[in-house]
Chains A and B, each alone.
Chain A
Amino acid sequence: MKILVCISNVPDTTAKISFTDNDTKFNKTGVQFIIGPYDDYALARAVELKEQHGGTVTVLNVGESESDPQLRKALAIGADDAIRVNTEPTDSYFVAAQIAHIASQNSYDLILMGRESIDFNSGVVHGLVGEMLGIASYSPVMKLDITGNEAKFAREIDGGKEHLSAALPLVLGCQEPIAEWKIPNMRGIMTARTKSLAVVEPVSVDDSTVLEKYALPAPKGSCRMIPAEEAEQLIALLKTEAKVL
């Protein structure tokens, strides 16, 4: 089985977010980058499936060289080889087109990724890739097993779960508890450098969106505590000051 896992390179969840160049560029100074947490679940499940069924796991990132440590980490966790499409990932359509191009050159049985990245959170790349390749895509997938040419999986739906089966190939957007995040072991880290990390140039895609600027949410206002026994005062304040009632 050939599995492709697409990972995003995103700021650590605790990073302080700020912008430069008139709020048009994300300020990367001092920011620690990580594998997108949902992508990390997809990677963990891919490595488990490879251990069960054999085959290969290729890890793919659309991004610049700052993604390399994350690709190396994926190799240390158990991916066999890595591909980086050397370009700034500008929007979901652009990224999906790059992924679809790589996927169309290799016949993967499964294309896994996170349900969404945790920087821009669009959550549409899996669907776009599926459409571009003309194969089915599902998200968010929380459980995944493979028998022969068939995938059995569970998807979260409003208020419950949907159990599905479908023939490979498939594109799946994953989330917990599909697998547990893996910590690479030291041998894995040491052998990661001997595995291939191919850097390829992007295919040209017309801009579908142009970024105008970023904005941070308004800072939190100060907080006033009203004791429970003064509920009337609270109601009055909600009416007169907060004007929410």
Chain B
Amino acid sequence: MTDFYSIDDLLSEENRLIRQTVAEFTAKEIKPIIESFAQKAEFPQHLIRRFGDLGLLGITMPVEYGGTQADYISYGLVCQEIERGDSGMRSTLSVQHSLVMWPILHFGTSEQKNKFLPGLASGDLLGCFGLTEPDHGSNPAGMTTHFIEKEDYYVLNGAKTWISNAPLADLAVVWARNPNGRIQGLIVERGMEGFTTPEIKGKWSLRASATGELIFADVRIPKENLLPEGLGLSAPLKCLDQARYGIAWGAIGAAIDCYETAVQYASERIQFGKPIAGFQLTQKKLAEMLTEITKAQLVAWRLGVLMNEKRATTAQISLAKRNNVAMALQVARESRQILGGMGITGEFPIMRHLMNLESVVTYEGTHDIHLLILGAEITGIQAFK
């Protein structure tokens, strides 16, 4: 494993065993099948249970709700090792852990926690997170999905789009305006009348992950499905902090897989009578990739320590997500070039990583939105509008 600065030495014995275990799992159960699922644009649904069996879905969640109760470095390492296989598989895991279980744990009632968390941890239930709307992507504050109160239930109307896991999810954590116009979360369950989840087809990115819409046409939501805590946009943004943290680690996994593939290919491919690894231009690419990966690993590790100490800020998380995903995209592009024509085929994972990362650089706050978050942090001046 690419670990130029012996960052492994900074990890606990458990962290290391978790990393090795998930690496083994990815090598055995994701890598051999993922290319064909991506080519067919199919989601390998059986993996959700396997993630559950291994204890990955509830990695930081309390044991009493079926979680593993590991630390944030462990969560990061899980994301990294799964994303060495595929960003789509890591997305499924991030959504379930950080965007579905996390808000239920932090904003839900104890009945909601007991009802949903164990099933979400075991993989019996699949969840999704609805924030983005057709007319409100980077600007979720403008959302129009809303609910009103009727006797003993609420009535939800509106639509969400670009929702990971939506077509297969058993439940959705949906953010909508309450009768007072404030943003609040609801748990919408499959089978509720007026609730549909059409799939978005024709993606060239995250093809092995299912993405869809959530449509609410007068959906009756029982009152016990309202998340009582967490009012206002800050609630879903706190969930995004959790997921973005995982992405900052995950992207390193995709980068490492591309880099290691490129190193091996370059040392075997002979042109002009010697391995292409022997040319300065190839060496420049490889040296820069290793440098950027190492920097990203240190950023992720330090952020993990801050997360464990509950000190990480949104702006710190933005820096890591933005830097590490852009780094991974760059590494994927350079690796693809090193493989020449072979780089565009499914025989090697690089093109799939490269295409996947185009989503990763966009979702959970685009590259530029994170720049604006940092800009506001530095200057105290919001430049969003």
A193 to B14, CA, bound (A): 8
Name the segment of B48-56, B135-143, B148-156, B182-190 touching the other chain.
B48-56
Q: A187 touching B68 by the CB < 8 A rule?
A: yes
> Does B9 have its Cβ within 8 Å of any Cβ on chain A?
no
Within 8 Å of chain A (Cβ to Cβ): is B348? no
Interface status of A190 (Cβ within 8 A of chain B): yes
**Cβ B68 vs Cβ A184 within 8 A:** no
Contact with A along B1-24 (1 / 0, CB 8 A): 000000000000110111011001
Q: Does B59 contact A (CB under 8 A)?
A: yes
A183 to B: closest C-beta gap in Å: 6
Query: Is B54's CB under 8 angstroms from A183's CB?
Result: yes
B21 touches A183 (CB 8 A): yes
Say yes or no: is A73 at the interface (Cβ < 8 Å to chain B): yes
Residues of chain B contacted by A68 (CB below 8 angstroms): 13
CA gap between A69 and B74 in the complex, in Å: 16
Interface string of A14-46 (1 = CB under 8 A from B): 000000000000000000000000000000000
A76 an interface residue at 8 Å Cβ cutoff? yes
A35 to chain B, nearest CB (A): 11
B54 near A72: Cβ-Cβ < 8 Å: no
User: Interface residue tally of chain B, by bracket?
Assistant: 20 to 34
In the complex, the answer to whether A186 meets B16 with C-beta atoms within 8 Å is no
| Residues in chain B near residue A102, CB distance under 8 A | none
**Is A183's CB under 8 angstroms from B25's CB?**
yes
A189 to B63, CA, bound (A): 13
Known contacts A186-B59, A189-B21, A190-B70: A69-B13 contact under CB 8 Å: yes
Chain B interface helix/strand/loop/mixed: helix
Question: Across the interface, which residues of B come within 8 angstroms of A193, CB to CB?
Answer: 13-14
**How distant is B263 from chain A, measured CB to nearest CB, in Å?**
15
B53 contacts A189, C-beta separation under 8 Å: no
Q: Please determine whether B69 and A184 come into contact, CB atoms closer than 8 angstroms.
A: no
Distance in angstroms between the alpha carbons of A186 and B71 in the assembled complex: 11
- Asked if A72 contacts B17 (CB within 8 A), the reply is yes
State whether the Cβ of A149 lies closer than 8 Å to any Cβ in chain B.
Answer: no
B55 touches A73 (CB 8 A): no
A69 with B14: in contact, given A185-B54, A185-B55, A186-B59 (CB under 8 Å)?
Answer: no
- Which residues of the partner chain A approach B13 to less than 8 Å between Cβ atoms? 68-69, 72, 193
- For residue B147, give the distance in angstroms from its CB to the closest CB of chain A: 37
Do the beta carbons of A184 and B21 come within 8 Å of each other? yes
A186 to B18, CA, bound (A): 7
1/0 contact trace for B155-182 toward A, CB 8 Å? 0000000000000000000000000000
> B17, B18, B20, B68 — which one has the most chain A CB atoms within 10 A of its CB?
B17
Q: How far is the CA of A130 from the CA of B13 in the complex (A)?
A: 34
In contact, A184 and B17 (Cβ under 8 angstroms) = yes
Choose one: A69, A72, A187, A192; the contact of B55 (CB below 8 Å): A187
Say how far B77's CB is from chain A's closest CB, in angstroms.
11
For B68, give its contact among A72, A73, A186 (CB under 8 Å): A186
C-alpha gap A76/B17 in the complex (Å):
9
- Is there contact, CB below 8 Å, between B25 and A186? no
Interface residues of A, Cβ cutoff 8 Å to B: 68-69, 72-73, 76, 183-187, 189-190, 192-193
- Given pairs A185-B54, A189-B14, 11 additional interface contacts (CB within 8 A): A72-B17, A73-B17, A73-B20, A76-B17, A76-B21, A183-B24, A186-B74, A187-B63, A189-B18, A190-B69, A193-B13
Q: List chain B positions with a Cβ less than 8 A from chain A.
A: 13-14, 16-18, 20-21, 24-25, 28, 53-56, 59, 63, 68-70, 74, 78
Ranked 6 nearest A-B pairs via Cβ:
A186-B55, A186-B68, A185-B55, A185-B54, A187-B55, A189-B17
